[in-house]
Every structure is written in C-alpha cells, then in structure tokens.
Structure 1
C-alpha cells in the first residue's frame, strides 16, 4: 500500500474528505488508488442481507460433505485488500458518527438552556439556532450560532463560536453574542474574548465590561457594567443600538411583524423593553424615538410612522 498503511487515520480522513491537497495528489498517483476507489464505491451500496436460517443450515451441511478433500486455492485478491475494505467500511461508520451534529433552535419568545459536553452552558434567546458536534468535543470546542446566546465557558481548549458575521474565541469566560443578517455584537462579561469580524478580518480583544458591534462593516466599541444580559431575566436592553436591531428583538420576543418602511432605520436607541407586555414594550421603544404605530392584532403586524 506504498506506505499509506503507516497512518492509521489515512483511510478515514480520505473518506471524510480531510486529506491535504498533497496527500490526495500522492494517493491518486499510487498503484493502490484504483482498488481503494472501487472498494469505496462498493461500500456505499452495502445492504444487510436477509437471513434464512433453514437455507443457511442446508448450505453449510452440503458444503461439509466432502471434508476430506484438500482443494487448491488460488489467491485472486491480495490479502491486504480485504483489510482495506474493512478499513473503509469502518471509516464510513466513523465518518457518519463523527459528522453527527447536535442542533438546537428556539421559537419566537422562547429561550433554551443547554449544557455542553464539557459542562459549559449556553442560554439561547428567542428565534436562534445553535449546532455543534459532540464527538471529540473536549479537543474541538467549536459551535455555530445564528441569533443570540449567552455563554458560560468552562476552562479547557479554545472555545470558538462561528457566525456568518465573525468568530469569537475564548479559553474560559462569559460572553453574549448576537449574530443576525448584517449585524454582529459581542459583550464580554468575564475573562477575555478575541473577536474576529468579517469580511475585513479585523481582530479585537475584549475584557470584562467591553463590547463591540459591527454595523455596516464598521467597528463600534463601547462599555457596559451589567453582570448578565438582561434578556435572560425577561427584558431586552440596548445602548446606542440601530433601531432596526431593536425592532428585530421586538419581533422575536412577541412574534409580530414590524413594517418599518416609512421610518429612518439609521436612528439609534438606548433603553429597553419588557418581554411580558407588548403594548408597554412598544410604548417604551417607540415614544422616545418619536414614532407612532398602527397595530393589526389579527395579523400581528405593526406599521410604524414618524411623528415628526
């Protein structure tokens, strides 16, 4: 096998598509590649045969009648190829096992608490998605987030939160992340956080009380003093936040649709709203922003207008 058998993980990595370009090139140029490829293709169509005990017993009995004969056996396939076939089948099983993903979602006005395999904790806010692979978690603490979540991370290997807007990396800390279309925000509550934003790939280190957001591809840092995110205890708060993000938070908590086509979405809001009373929440946000609204209760649609 030209030395490929020296690496016990080689076949598994090949099946999983994790070989480097150089490894894959060398493997394709090897004498073994054609046979491995055939075994690989055949293993994908493997099915468990139906088992007939009577028929099987009769076949075994018939095959043992002439036990005194010693027929010559010609080895048509190298012995190592059987080991290769078994290795690939095992590799497929390992591939599917290691590719299994734990997925969690929250609906409108819903929160969800999750305990990760290392006892780190995640509190998901409304209308959010989280996924990670449990296999080998202690060595690869990486998960994907869409929406908002608060993390309490146990010490260990680097803990990474991947989002479409950027990444957050820590060793052991508490932090809050918001990652929605066109918006990215991180607040560090404890420890130290490394934030890498896309697409500029800018890196920022946050200490306790530091926060940063990405709005229209611009980095905006600020500071805060709250010990935990207010949404965990039933109230969303904001500091100089784009009004669009505040309206999205209202939609997520109350399962409403906000028509903001007639207002200036560049306005900023500082304040908060309760998660328990929609009318109170609307007044708390809209009156300070000089906005009026019409609410269609049946369709749960709110149309905003500027009072100026």
Structure 2
C-alpha cells in the first residue's frame, strides 16, 4: 500500500484506480484494512470518499478504463503473433486503426443502447393542470384513486403487497392487470392547495408539496431506486449502499445512498434548488449519453441552485436549512427572500392567483414567518404588513396594490 495515500485529498482518492476497485468491488480488502488500522485518521477520509464512489458507481461501470484496456490487450495479443519487425510495424499501424474503429463502434453501440434505454425522459401520464384536478394516485393499470384530504397519507407495504391510502387498504395485485397497463410506475399528483405524505416500499419517506407530482415503482427491483419528480418534495431516504436512490427532475439527477434533503423543481421556475439537511448527495446534469463523471457533491447545510438559463450549478452555504422544509409542518418561513418567490409559494399553497402592477418591486427582499394553517386572509394580512402593500381578495384572485399614502405622497 502506498504510504503517500495519507497525503491524498478526498478528490485524489476518488480518482485513484486501486481505491475505486476496493470501494466498488472489495479488491485487496485485507491489505486496505491493515492500512486503515495503522492510520485511523485516514480511515474517516477514506469512508467519505468511498461513499461518493458508491454514489457514482454507474459512471465507473459505463465503458470505463478497464473496458478500453481490455480492447488494447486483445489487440496486443494478436500483434505478438508476428515476429518480423517490418511486419510488426505495419501491423501496429493497422491495429492502431483497427483499435480506433473498435473503440468508436463500442462507443456507438453503447450510446445507442444507453440512450434508447436509460436516458429516456419520463413522461407523466397525469395532467399537469394542478389547479383544476383533485389530488389522485394513478396505478400501473391506469386505475385512479382520488385523495379527498388536503394532506393525504400513502404507504406501500412490500411484504404483503398492500397500499394504504388514508383509511383505505388496496391490494397491489388488483392494480397490476397487464393487459390494461398504460404506465410502468405509480404516479401521485398533488394539485395546488394540497399536500401529501408517502412511505415508499424501501422505507423512504417523501413529503410532496402543492402543485407537485411523483412517479415511483411499487417495489424497487433494479440496481438504482429511481423516482421522478416535478414540483417540490422533501426526501428522507432509507440507506442502502448497494442500491443508490436517484431523484430525476428532468434537468438534474440527484443521487443519494441515504439522507435527508429538499428539492424544488417546478417547471415554471427559473432554477432547481436542492437543500441538504444531513448525509451527502451528488447532483448531475445528464449529458447526451446520460453519463456524468463530475457531479456536484453537496454537504449538510448547503444549497445547490441549478440555473436553467445559464445551465450551471451555484452552491451556497445555508446556516438555517430548516427554513426550506418548514412547509412540511404548515409554516412558510423566509429570510431575505424575494417577494415574488414568497407570493408564488402562497399561490400554490392556497390555489389562488396573485396579481400586482407591472411596476411593483416584487424583487424586494423580505423576512418573516407565515402560519399556513390560517385562512388566506390572515396570511395575506401578515404578508402585507411585512412587504408594505394593500390587497383585495376577489373570488380566487388576490390583487396587490401599494399603500395609498405612498402612492399619493407629495
């Protein structure tokens, strides 16, 4: 074992081939264990690096260094059959060309199958008109169950193949008619003005906010536990190192082993925000081949904002991450947040439309706390005091105006 490993940073360890082989396949396990026993301080750094390697293991599996080396080894064996130097030189040139062709063909074949299978963007069967539809769950058979409560609870039981939807028990076998099957996953659709709480089959807990939908399997049977999100959700993922949990939002993939984080990925928003409360996550922007080797590693009390227009991540420290999950408990807390961002959240939660003059300074930063268990009128009064405006409620519309004394000040 190289002694200079002790000087390696976490990033250097991840790039070290022998370290990845141990982390992924347990190669030279006893040798590494002896090294760790002699260097306890190094062990904690190695464990963190191993967790990131496990999170990214699919990328190392996809036509990595070993595959390319194997191609060259086969060519080299073929070349050794020729003894004469001149013929060796000629064949080297030919084989170099053949190797290039072989690698290109391999990459082409790989990309075809990868793109045709793994990089398909999930298309929700459910309508995205959240303001017009009831909260509902759609099973793989196409059967729908409407969720009457404003805050529904759904739990999947993988042992006896049952689903608990509020107070009703549904047998999963009854929803798996192959002939009638229209989708491969369950979908939960939460319209504006409602929320839902889910317990997935692997023990992962998910809170879905208003105007969101989630697609997920009844059982996780593949290598990766993949779900698809549109909107906002808070995840408390059940840890399983052999089966990473991946949240796919269309623009960003979030890969975890077991952790607690919040994701806001509404289609109409200019950015996707991921806030980490505990554990670690890796965020990637899928490329044309679906391969990402340089993911953004997020630490607790950090937020990653993916700016859709700029196509880039911005990572910031967030000392009070609880603000981002306060909606789970019926609160809307904000600190130095733009007024328009807060208004959007109020719109979604109460299923209303908020209008304001074109010249109104909606980018002004405000701080405060709203009790979403209160009526819309009480919430808007509290917000009006903080942001200094007058408002009128007309049916399901809220019309914002500046305070009259400020409008007519001389």
Give the C-alpha shift of residue 131 in structure 1. Answer: 0.6
Unpaired segments ≥5 residues, structure 2: 1-106, 113-176
Q: 1:259 to 1:165 in 2, by over 3 A?
A: farther
Q: What is the count of residue pairs matched by the alignment?
A: 219
Q: Which of the numbers 314, 320, 327 marks the counterpart of 1:225? A: 320
Q: 1:164 to 1:271 in 2, by over 3 A?
A: farther
Residues 164 and 179 of structure 1 are in contact (CA less than 8 Å); yes or no, is this contact kept in structure 2? Answer: no
Q: Which of the numbers 279, 284, 287 marks the counterpart of 2:382? A: 284
Residues 117 and 138 of structure 1 are in contact (CA less than 8 Å); yes or no, is this contact kept in structure 2? Answer: no
Residues 234 and 275 of structure 1 are in contact (CA less than 8 Å); yes or no, is this contact kept in structure 2? Answer: yes
Q: How does 1:1-308 map to 2 (within 5 A)?
A: 22=109, 100-134=184-218, 136-137=220-221, 139-156=223-240, 157-180=243-266, 181=268, 182-196=270-284, 203-214=295-306, 217=310, 219=314, 221-225=316-320, 229-262=325-358, 263-277=360-374, 278-296=376-394, 299-307=395-403, 308=406
The 10-residue stretch of structure 1 (224-233 or 110-119) with the greater mean CA deviation from structure 2: 224-233
1: CA distance, partners of 2:298 / 2:319: 12
Q: 1:113 to 1:287 in 2, by over 3 A?
A: same
Q: 1:155 to 1:97 in 2, by over 3 A?
A: farther
Give the C-alpha shift of residue 238 in structure 1. Answer: 2.2
- SS state of the match for residue 387, structure 2? coil
The 10-residue stretch of structure 1 (221-230 or 118-127) with the greater mean CA deviation from structure 2: 221-230
Residues 265 and 272 of structure 2 are in contact (CA less than 8 Å); yes or no, is this contact kept in structure 1? Answer: yes
2: CA distance, partners of 1:204 / 1:146: 21
TM-score between both structures, scaled by the size of structure 2: 0.47
Query: Which has more radius of gyration?
Result: 1
Residues 98 and 133 of structure 1 are in contact (CA less than 8 Å); yes or no, is this contact kept in structure 2? Answer: no
Give the C-alpha shift of residue 226 in structure 1. Answer: 5.0
The 10-residue stretch of structure 1 (239-248 or 153-162) with the greater mean CA deviation from structure 2: 239-248
Render the CA deviation track for 1:91-131: whole Å, top value 9, x for unaligned.
xx999979611100112332211111211111111121111
1: CA distance, partners of 2:389 / 2:341: 16
- SS state of the match for residue 284, structure 1? helix
Q: 1:99 to 1:110 in 2, by over 3 A?
A: closer
Residues 210 and 223 of structure 1 are in contact (CA less than 8 Å); yes or no, is this contact kept in structure 2? Answer: yes
Supply the RMSD in Å over aligned alpha carbons: 3.3
- SS state of the match for residue 373, structure 2? coil
1: CA distance, partners of 2:317 / 2:389: 26
Give the C-alpha shift of residue 23 in structure 1. Answer: 8.3
Residues 117 and 137 of structure 1 are in contact (CA less than 8 Å); yes or no, is this contact kept in structure 2? Answer: no
TM-score between both structures, scaled by the size of structure 1: 0.61
Residues 155 and 171 of structure 1 are in contact (CA less than 8 Å); yes or no, is this contact kept in structure 2? Answer: yes
Residues 173 and 192 of structure 1 are in contact (CA less than 8 Å); yes or no, is this contact kept in structure 2? Answer: yes
Unpaired segments ≥5 residues, structure 1: 1-19, 26-92
Residues 276 and 321 of structure 2 are in contact (CA less than 8 Å); yes or no, is this contact kept in structure 1? Answer: no
Q: 1:187 to 1:267 in 2, by over 3 A?
A: same
Greater fraction of residues in helix: 2
